[in-house]
Amino acid sequence: MASALLKKILISNPNGVRKAAEIFCNATRNHWNYQYKPGPYPRTPAERAAAAKKYGMTVEEYQPYPEHMCYGDYPKLPDIGSDSKDPYYPYDQPELKRNFNEPIHASQEIIGEDRYDISMKPRFSLLHQWTWFLGVIGGSFALYIFLEDYKFGRPVTIKQYPKDGPHYLFCQK
């Protein structure tokens, strides 16, 4: 099928080589693998066992997301970011800290190694963060209110317009 299409393009088009390369690249790059699509939510133990096998997990460790989250039979993996994984473990894909056929976390775009690590404890508590935020904003507002009457700048006299005096024109009529 693909070879017949390529031959047809090469014969009919003088720039067929370039077009064939574009079609081939788009066909290989923009595909959808049906095996990655999650199935329906498992309701029976047999469906649960089949879903666990599909994702390479045992039935005991397989836990799907709740049904209202609409992830189907995709497994709920622990919230461990890539930054928290062992950097010296011999991964199959060391740049992603991931092994072959290991399921990807549903929030992988958020907890990647260059993103937020959900498994780490925050450096400062939420109360501490709010205290500093409100202290800085409140202090800035207090300085603004207190120093409103003490503005500084270039001293300028008020505009002086002549009323009844002579008016000089610098251009001659």
Q: Is residue 138 part of a domain?
A: no
**Do residues 13 and 19 touch, judged by C-beta distance below 8 A?**
yes
pLDDT tens column, 21-77 = 555 444 444 445 565 678 899 999 999 999 999 888 999 999 999 999 989 999 999
Do 85 and 125 belong together in one domain?
yes
69 and 51 in one domain?
yes
- Within a domain: 108: yes
- Maximal CA-CA distance, the chain: 105
* Inside any domain, residue 92: yes
| pLDDT of 85 over the 70 cut | yes
Of 101, 84, 83, which Cα lies nearest the Cα of 92? 101
Residues 89 and 118 in one domain: yes
* Residue 12: domain span: 2-30
25 and 42 in a single domain? The answer is no
What average pLDDT does the chain have? 79
- Cα(96)–Cα(34) distance, integer angstroms: 23
- 52 and 17 share a domain? no
Q: Is residue 167 part of a domain?
A: no
The lowest-confidence range among 12-16, 40-44, 136-140 is 12-16
Could you tell me if 69 and 108 lie in one domain? no
Maximum mean pLDDT: which of 12-16, 22-26, 133-137:
133-137
Tell me whether residue 62 is in a domain: yes
Asked whether residue 24 is domain-assigned, the answer is: yes
Residue 173 belongs to some domain of the structure:
no
Helix (H) or strand (E) holding 20: helix 16-29
CA pair distance 64, 34, nearest whole angstrom: 19
Domain count, the chain: 3
Q: Please report whether residue 166 resides in a domain.
A: no
Within 10 A of 82 (CB to CB), how many other CB atoms are there?
A: 19
